[in-house]
Each structure stands twice: as C-alpha cells, then as structure tokens.
Copies of this chain bind each other. A is one copy, B any other.
Amino acid sequence: MFSLTPVLVAVVCILIAWIFKNADGNMERRKGETRARTKAQPWVDEDLKDSSDLHPVEEDADDWQDSEESVEHIPFSHTRYPEKEMVKRSQEFYELLNKRRSVRFISNEQVPMEVIDNVIKAAGTAPSGAHTEPWTFVVVKDLDVKHKIREIIEEEEEINYLKRMGRQWVTDLKKLRTNWIKEYLDTAPVLILIFKQVHGFAANGKRKVHYYNEISVSISCGILLAALQVCVLPTLPRRQTQYSMAKQ
C-alpha cells in the first residue's frame, strides 16, 4: 500500500544513444550535479570499449588540451568507522538492499520531488570513464508523455516476446504476468528515464567519444537503485498488501 517500489521499478533503463543537445523539450531534464570536471584520466582499453561506440570519432591531441584549465584540486580526507561499526553498517545496508525486488505492480502514490532530486543527485556522484559523466536523467510526470513512453516500450517488447519465445514459454509466463504489457508505466507517478551520452563535444565543437559510457551509466543506475531503497522502511509494522512475485 505504501511502497516506494513504484519509483524503484519505474526506473526505466532506456539506455539508448542520446545527444544532449537534441534533448526533447517536452521532458523535464535533470542532470546529476555536475562536479568539477577534469579530463585527467582518459582510461582507455580497446577491449572494454562500449558497444555503443558505433560512431567512433577522430580525436586529436589538441582536443584534450583545453581540459588543462578545468583541472581543479580539492583536498581529500575522510575517515572510517571503528571496525565493529563498519561491520554493523555493512550488514544493515546489505539487509536493506536485499529487500529490494523488481516488481511489476506499482502504486500510484505520489513521491516528494525532493526525494527524486536527491536520488538522482546521488546517482550523479558515480565514477565515470575520464569523468565524462555520460548520463542524462529525465524525470517524467506528464500523463501523456508517460503513456507515449509506455507505447514505445511495449511495441519493442512485443517484438521481443513474439520473436524469441516459443508457445510453451509464453504460456508459462502468463501466470507470472511478465509479458510485454507494462501498465505500471502509466500507473507510476514518476518515471526516471536514464540515457547514456555516447559522445560529448570538445570546446572546438568536435565530437568526443565517451569511453565506457554504458558501464558508467549503469554504475550510476546502481547507485540510483541503492538511493531509492534507502528511502524504504525495511521493517514492516504488519502485514500489508502483499504481492506474490517471483523473487528477482
């Protein structure tokens, strides 16, 4: 009944190519807080290149030089809890996270926008290849836009199901209700769409490949899920509406 799972599940990971410049004006755009940028460590393994780097762009050394000015040094220091406390905290965090589920039935209850802002800001603290922060978070509340998104996703999913699954499989799935119909995309009060930026732009306007963009965005997505789960009360006062779901 009172469940944050709506938002949690509504994290629709549409990891598609995204050029920030061409962002759709209809959608509210939020980006993880941009931190001091430095191109200090373009870490490149050819082996680890993203599949998304479909359009590799020539780069010359000059493109990187402009980054020199933007390198910023910030003193770093922190400490850690006593061992006993560390163990306790890590244990509690695991137990809390272990209560997360990928559900398909979602409450329409509103969530304060401040919470949405904070979890996206948390996600924006993720490390990324050469600190390119190649992610764009889009928060959708508009009913029509949500519905259009649902239509696009269902269309794609239907193809997947019909193309890949045999008749037996589809029959088996019926009782689990995991088909291509995604009603929850209409129901959830908020959708958080996550886009990866396959490339950015250098100061001179040239395209710059964002290495490891898929890995970076997915790490950020993991932190987003953790942040959402932190807002959930792990101990239940009593039996509430129960959803029978395959543990997933």
Pick the interface stretch among A20-28, A136-144, A169-177.
Answer: A169-177
Say whether A99 contacts B78, CB under 8 Å: yes
Determine if A168 is an interface residue (Cβ-Cβ < 8 Å): yes
Interface range on chain A (Cβ under 8 Å from partner): 35 or more
Copies of the polypeptide in the assembly = 2
Binary CB contact string for chain A from 118 to 148 against chain B (1 if under 8 A, 0 otherwise)? 1101100111000100000000000000000
Contacts of A173 in B (CB 8 A): 40-41
Instruction: Check A244 against B44 for contact (C-beta < 8 Å).
Output: no
Q: How many angstroms from the CA of A115 to the CA of B160 in the assembled complex?
A: 41
A115 to chain B minimum Cβ distance, whole angstroms, is: 5
Flag A184-219 by CB within 8 Å of B: 1 or 0 each.
Answer: 000000000000000000000000000000111111
Q: Let me know if A86 is at the binding interface, CB within 8 A.
A: yes
Instruction: Tell me the smallest distance from the CB of A233 to a CB of chain B, in Å.
Output: 5
Q: How far is the CB of A168 from chain B (nearest CB, A)?
A: 6
**Contact status B245-A74, CB under 8 Å:** yes
Q: Provide the bound-state CA to CA distance between A237 and B82, in Å.
A: 13
Asked whether any CB of chain B lies closer than 8 Å to the CB of A38, the reply is yes
Interface residue A19 (Cβ < 8 Å from any Cβ of B): no
* A165 CB contact (under 8 Å) in B35, B42, B89: B42
Q: B residues within 8 A CB of A100?
A: 125, 127
